[in-house]
Chain A
């Protein structure tokens, strides 16, 4: 028996969770071609939103009463609304609002929810029970209705909409961060860290967080879709960012008033929202397969 077989001179470095996640993601993307479609479509929307001033043929708030409610034409590819504003330009600028509100509120929910879930899982006991009970209560209440009431109470500004959507999206992140924290807590490397005298913060942040981050990021992409849908729903019932700023939900709301003769005004932004949400769901679904093949296709 050779010494090298039992005691290798150089221990193979354990792949970091990130390297594992990256390679698994690439593999999932390649076996699951639809996640590529999701990613590409979403990136196109992001680029369009960033390049809005270059891409939009008109100013999204420029009114022209002589040109109102025009059907799609060469000058106005997607027609004009009841104020004579160019629908295509409003659609491109509207993507900005959807993305900003969606991304900021999801990030906030992700950070707060993960922190709550990790702390509850780490400390266990009564703190854990009470926190997760509170999360279950929040989860049980219809989040759209809670969001509606919060925004109506606080007033429909961009910040308040972000706060409302973030608050209603915290529980799923807390839940998903808690279970793996409890599982990882019992592993040897955590004991080793404790023996070395590392603080709780260091163990949680440096040693546990990277292990659960992939799952949280996947949840993030799925909840980003949800946040964009909630923002549009709020705007549709009149609790969106104040007009004349273009938002997709607001465009549908205005278009719905003229649905009998100018159906495209409600239909175009509706389809735009659907495409973005579908793209994000395709992406998140594929990524989820990457980190946990067992979950394949679960809601």
Chain B
């Protein structure tokens, strides 16, 4: 387990390093001088020069890279060009909103998806199975902003059950009102993914010899399904859920826009439209950190559900 973890940790560090480098390069391949872009055509040479200095763009490229790397790791992500506030503060302010949304959506996805997938696998090629397969295929066809708009139209506009703008104001009821529609919108799409992977993982496991043995020795069918089969099907399910979290974080950008919900998504779109480079760099760092952390948690989960992983 220790060597396994060390290897995965090393991969996490490599990932972090690689993406930081990618961020550094991306922000610099923009055609034109960022300082010129930010200040516009009317700016004087002195003003551009001063801004270049402030952004550290006058330093040699290797020096810029070092400054960027050490800054990123120390949490010094520069100052937003728009608000003038430190980037890390702005990011941390809205981070809980996005984490909360993705977390609740994922829970919805697992709670709906795992039982649906198991049920479909047990009733393979029967009507229920087809119904589950078609509806999960439909679910994962949804662009996240389309599902959000449809929910918004039905439950906030046609039926005034939920607010059109999902920003909470303190009480538990307000929280419930602000999270429900966005989380259902993302949760149903997650459920579609979880259902499909659960179904195929269960089908694989159900044809194993030990399942037949368990049945033959008279273990109740329920116990065979939930204890013997599902436990073994968990590894591929965890893999997909871990990978899906990356997609989910991407999708949450669109959901936050539709529901006017604060979060990383709104911050990102704002930074993109305003070409707020320090903010964009900081956001890519935070997204990378989240992804790397999720990958590590996925690896830990492997070891937790499957003792064999520890031996490798």
Contact = CB atoms under 8 A, between A and B. Distances in A.
A153 to B, nearest CB: 5
Interface string B186-205: 00000001001101100100
B203 A259 contact: no
Contacts of A134: 18
Interface in B165-211: 193, 196-197, 199-200, 203
Contacts of A273: 143, 146
Interface residues of B, number: 55
B129 to A, nearest CB: 8
Given A137-B19, A237-B257, A259 B295 contact: no
Nearest to B164: A260
Contacts of A3: none
A296 interface: yes
A238 interface: yes
Interface string A237-266: 111000000000000100010011001001
A299 B149 contact: no
Given A142-B250, A297-B133, A274 B269 contact: no
A226 to B, nearest CB: 10
Given A144-B253, A153-B30, A236-B145, A299 B157 contact: no
A153 B30 CA distance: 6
B143 A233 contact: yes
Nearest to B125: A296
B243 interface: yes
Contacts of B258: 256
B200 A299 contact: yes
- Please classify how large the interface on chain A is, using the bins under 10, 10 to 19, 20 to 34, 35 or more: 35 or more
A298 B306 CA distance: 22
B42 to A, nearest CB: 21
Contacts of A236: 143, 145, 254, 257
Contact of B140 (A150, A152, A260, A281): A281
B3 interface: no
Contacts of B138: 278
B251 interface: yes
A145 B253 contact: yes
A150 B27 CA distance: 9
Contacts, number: 137
Interface string B279-307: 01000100110011001000000000000
A299 B240 contact: yes
A298 B11 CA distance: 27
Q: Is the contact region of chain B dominated by helix, strand, or loop, or is it mixed?
A: helix
Nearest to A151: B272
A150 B137 contact: no
Contacts of B157: 259-260, 263
Given A139-B243, A153-B26, A252 B146 contact: yes
Contacts of A153: 26-27, 29-30
Contact of A296 (B140, B200, B240): B200
Contact of A297 (B196, B243, B292): B196
Contacts of A271: 146
B143 A145 contact: no
Nearest to A264: B153
Interface in A8-66: 34
A277 interface: yes
A117 B57 CA distance: 37
A233 B141 contact: no
Given A238-B273, A239-B272, A298-B196, A270 B149 contact: yes
B22 to A, nearest CB: 8
Interface string A111-144: 0000000000000000000000110110111111
Nearest to A34: B134
B65 interface: no
Contact of A141 (B19, B141, B143, B197): B19
B203 A296 contact: yes
Contact of A277 (B141, B247, B275): B141
A266 B200 contact: no
B153 A259 contact: yes
Nearest to A282: B137
A178 interface: no
Nearest to B271: A152
A225 interface: yes
A145 B272 contact: no
Given A140-B291, A142-B291, A252-B149, A278 B200 contact: no
A259 B295 CA distance: 39
| Best-buried of A141, A149, A263, A297 by chain B (most CB within 10 Å) | A297
A44 B11 CA distance: 46
A143 to B, nearest CB: 6
Contacts of B150: 267, 270
B250 A145 contact: yes
A152 B254 CA distance: 16
A206 to B, nearest CB: 34
Interface of B: 11, 14-15, 18-19, 26-27, 29-31, 133-134, 137-138, 140-146, 149-150, 152-153, 157, 193, 196-197, 199-200, 203, 240, 243, 246-247, 249-251, 253-254, 257-258, 268-269, 272-273, 275, 280, 284, 287-288, 291-292, 295
Give the 9 A-B CB pairs with smallest separation, nearest first: A144-B250, A142-B250, A298-B200, A270-B146, A278-B141, A277-B141, A152-B272, A299-B196, A142-B246
